[in-house]
Amino acid sequence: MESTLGAGIVIAEALQNQLAWLENVWLWVTFLGDPKILFLFYFPAAYYASRRVGIAVLWISLITEWLNLVFKWFLFGDRPFWWVHESGYYSQAPVQVHQFPSSCETGPGSPSGHCMVTGAALWPIMTALSSQLATRTHSRWVRVMPTLAYCTFLLAVGLSRVFILAHFPHQVLAGLITGAVLGWLMTPRVPVERELSFYGLTALALMLGTSLIYWTLFTLGLDLSWTLLPHRSISLAFKWCERPEWIHVDSRPFASLSRDSGAALGLGIALHSPCYAQVRRAQLGNGQKVACLVLAMGLLGPLDWLGHPPQISLFYIFNFLKYTLWPCLVLALVPWVVHMFSAQEAAPIHSS
């Protein structure tokens, strides 16, 4: 394993030295591959294009992100930005690698969440585009364009994670393969609309399931504590990150759990809200869909940038509530506002 990790550092060094002129591109790509961007942009964009696809993106995002957390407990995985120091690799084979603001994530590194979660969640978008093109063109090259774009983007995300020392290449490869398989398996089975209790029980199952898995394995003697506050992975991040402000609070292991359980509950609330009931059968035009996306971005952006409470327990509660509100805005409130405003604009004017 040490030789594999050492080879990963050599690859990261080659990327940083040979492709340094693409630094801004790599940083932008790793930002676009962040699982949070699935909730912030890909989910609303997909939903306003196709309700079924959008709901599939959200479902797959929250389930695969939860699975990624559990997988990391079993697989552990150092991150390159701290391993090069802890292992003494610098003294054995001096290398020229450096960190970035996106490097200092606190959880274990295997498999890569950027590759696994994003790869799975973008699968329904890719398949939907491929299906649409297949009905409109006979050109084989045009029909494979969504698949090529999907593979190219995920490959770029994987390379960007290696470039910034967030993951080793084998962690990226594990994430890419797992994400594609999960996307292929889950897309046809995504529930569209179920009873409200189903979503509440799903959110509860995600939280209780995580606790049950942790304590069961801990009781059996497998020490998972290094992945949790205030243990090894977080202490290593604080120890070896070049700047304290680069430490990502929302990369802590249970931050994704609060996000996913909140999104599951919020999806149920949105689908059973009066606003959604009024707009679910409305046929929004292209202009209205664009207006929905712009308004959603205008609301979700500031909500995402709200400050984090200093206490970690308050942060988890705040994160849960924020992502519970997220689907309610996208599925119900924003389309309702746009639909009602458009209806008023289009209402005929009767002369007296």
207: tokens are 């939280």
> Measured between alpha carbons, how far is 49 from 284 in angstroms, rounded to an integer?
10
**190 close to 63: Cβ distance less than 8 angstroms:** no
State the catalytic residue, choosing from 85, 167, 231, 339: 167
Active site residue 167: yes
> Measured between alpha carbons, how far is 74 from 224 in angstroms, rounded to an integer?
8
Active site residue 114: yes
Among residues 317, 251, 331, 266, the alpha carbon closest in space to that of 65 is found at: 251
State the catalytic residue, choosing from 85, 98, 114, 248: 114
> Measured between alpha carbons, how far is 162 from 155 in angstroms, rounded to an integer?
11
> Measured between alpha carbons, how far is 119 from 175 in angstroms, rounded to an integer?
8
Exposure string (b/e) for 2-34, b if CB count within 10 Å is 16 or more? Answer: eeebbebbebbbebbeeeeebeeebbebbebbb
Phi and psi dihedrals of 106, rounded to 5? Answer: -100, -20
Distances (CA, A) of 350 to 346, 347: 12, 9
> Measured between alpha carbons, how far is 173 from 179 in angstroms, rounded to an integer?
10
- 51-75 vs 196-219: helix axis angle to the nearest 10? 10
32: tokens are 């676009």
Phi and psi dihedrals of 228, rounded to 5? Answer: -115, 165
CB-CB neighbours of 216 under 10 Å = 10
9: tokens are 């550092």
**């992975």: which residue's tokens?**
233
- DSSP per residue over 220-260, as a string? TT---GGGSTTSHHHHHHHHH-S-GGG--GGGSHHHHHHHH
Query: Which residues are designated catalytic?
Result: 114, 167
